């Protein structure tokens, strides 16, 4: 039997696991709840137990696997295989993830930041079409990113390469959780679009359902803003236009710097669909160097929730090639 890869996508509410072929085909997938109680100390033991259980179920053992890959939130030390400061997992102190998992499962283990791993997934089997120059931007509660240049992830000297969410697109703008102002994340995330909606609602004088909802103090979500814009609500259209402007501007900076084949946009907010991507493309093209405009393409992500486990599989493959 050909060898398999185990991909793990560790998140704040669930851990997704998958058994993949070396070609990146998902053969089995399942998920478990992330138990963040007690400083998240059950998370790694729960993963180990779940892997044991499923390997028994499929009558497989460690020798069937070339490796385990994992994407994790927080600050990841790729060499030591540790994770620090993953607050959505309640991991405040350093966690010895690699050591614990390798000792228990006897399979080589590789780990990287979750956004980087999702970027590898989209590059390999998703919208990146296995191109060697792909940038991935994920729009969720925050904005994450991963840069693949010349076939490899860009980590930088201190693993802060690809912090696309903190590109300054509006100097002096909204305050960001990172401590500075005007970051992409403050306008192009699920919470960012609400920042824009509240800011501009005072200036808008016309008739708008969205504006009325904000003025009435009703809870609104990013989805409400996009849905209203699709319904031709003038104010919602203006908010989405600002959102697309900032995201398109950030994409032009990425394009002018890296000239990737694809800038892939994913994450929950990207579910607004081609409607949003078209507007982002418009501003991207307006601000791009002519040859970048012609050659770098903006695309929607294709793998959805599977990007993490598939990218974790690619992480194993890459490390194999590098050590071979």
C-beta of residue 16 within 8 angstroms of C-beta of residue 308: yes
Rounded to the nearest whole angstrom, what is the least distance from the CB of residue 249 to Zn ion in the complex?
A: 15
Task: Tell me whether residue 238 or residue 254 sits nearer to Zn ion (CB atom).
Answer: 254
Is 166 a residue that touches Zn ion (CB under 5 A)? yes
Stretch that binds Zn ion, among 84-92, 95-103, 145-153, 166-174 (CB under 5 A): 166-174
Nearer Cβ to Zn ion, position 98 or 166?
A: 166
Q: What is the largest CA-CA distance in the chain?
A: 67
- For residues 176 and 183, the answer to whether their CB atoms sit within 8 Å is yes
> Which two three-digit tokens encode residue 277?
């991507």
Single residue of 92, 178, 275, 304 touching Zn ion by CB under 5 A: 178
User: Is-contact 28 19, C-beta < 8 A?
Assistant: yes
Can you give the C-alpha Rg of the chain in angstroms?
21
Q: Among residue numbers 113 through 142, which ones bind Zn ion (CB under 5 A)?
A: none
**Shortest approach of Zn ion to residue 180 CB, angstroms?**
5
**Residues pairing with 75 in the sheet:** 84
**What is the total count of residues that contact Zn ion (CB under 5 A)?**
4
* Residue from 101, 115, 167, 176 in contact with Zn ion (CB under 5 A): 176
Residues 255-314 that bind Zn ion (CB under 5 A): none
Residue (81 or 173) nearer to Zn ion, CB: 173
Written as six digits, the tokens of 289 are 């160097």
E strands of the chain, at which residues? 4-10, 14-21, 26-33, 65-72, 75-77, 82-84, 95-96, 109-113, 134-139, 143-149, 152-153, 262-266, 297-300
Q: Which stretch binds Zn ion (CB under 5 A): 15-23, 40-48, 98-106, 164-172?
A: 164-172
* Site map 181..200 versus Zn ion, x via CB under 5 A: --x-----------------
User: How wide is the angle at C-alpha 108 spanned by C-alphas 102 and 110, nearest 5°?
Assistant: 95
The footprint of Zn ion (CB under 5 A) covers 166, 176, 178, 183
């Amino acid at each position: 039997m050909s060898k398999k890869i185990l991909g793990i996508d560790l998140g704040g509410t669930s851990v997704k696991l998958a058994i993949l072929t070396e070609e990146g085909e998902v053969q089995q997938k399942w998920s478990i709840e992330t138990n963040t109680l007690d400083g998240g100390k059950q998370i790694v033991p729960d993963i180990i137990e779940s892997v044991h259980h499923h390997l028994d179920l499929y009558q497989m053992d460690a020798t069937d696997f070339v490796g385990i890959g994992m994407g994790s939130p927080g600050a990841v030390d790729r060499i030591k295989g540790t994770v620090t400061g993953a607050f959505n997992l309640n991991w405040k102190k350093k966690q010895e993830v690699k050591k614990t998992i390798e000792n228990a499962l006897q399979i080589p283990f590789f780990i990287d930041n979750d956004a980087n791993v999702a970027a590898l997934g989209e590059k390999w089997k998703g919208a990146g079409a296995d191109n060697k120059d792909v940038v991935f931007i994920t729009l969720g509660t925050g904005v994450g990113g991963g840069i693949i240049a010349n076939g490899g992830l860009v980590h930088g000297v201190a693993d802060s390469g690809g912090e696309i969410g903190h590109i300054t697109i509006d100097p002096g703008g909204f305050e960001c959780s990172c401590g500075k102002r005007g970051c992409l994340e403050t306008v192009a995330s699920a919470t960012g679009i609400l920042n824009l909606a509240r800011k501009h609602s005072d200036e808008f004088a016309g008739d708008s359902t969205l504006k009325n909802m904000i003025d009435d103090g009703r809870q609104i979500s990013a989805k409400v803003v996009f849905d209203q814009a699709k319904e031709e609500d003038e104010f919602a259209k203006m908010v989405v236009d600002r959102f697309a402007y900032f995201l398109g501007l950030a994409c032009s900076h990425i394009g002018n710097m890296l000239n990737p084949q694809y800038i892939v946009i994913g994450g929950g907010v990207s579910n607004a669909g081609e409607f949003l991507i078209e507007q982002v493309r418009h501003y991207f093209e307006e601000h791009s160097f002519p040859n970048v405009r012609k050659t770098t393409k903006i695309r929607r992500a294709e793998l959805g929730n599977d990007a993490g486990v598939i990218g974790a599989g690619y992480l194993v493959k890459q490390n194999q090639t590098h050590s071979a």
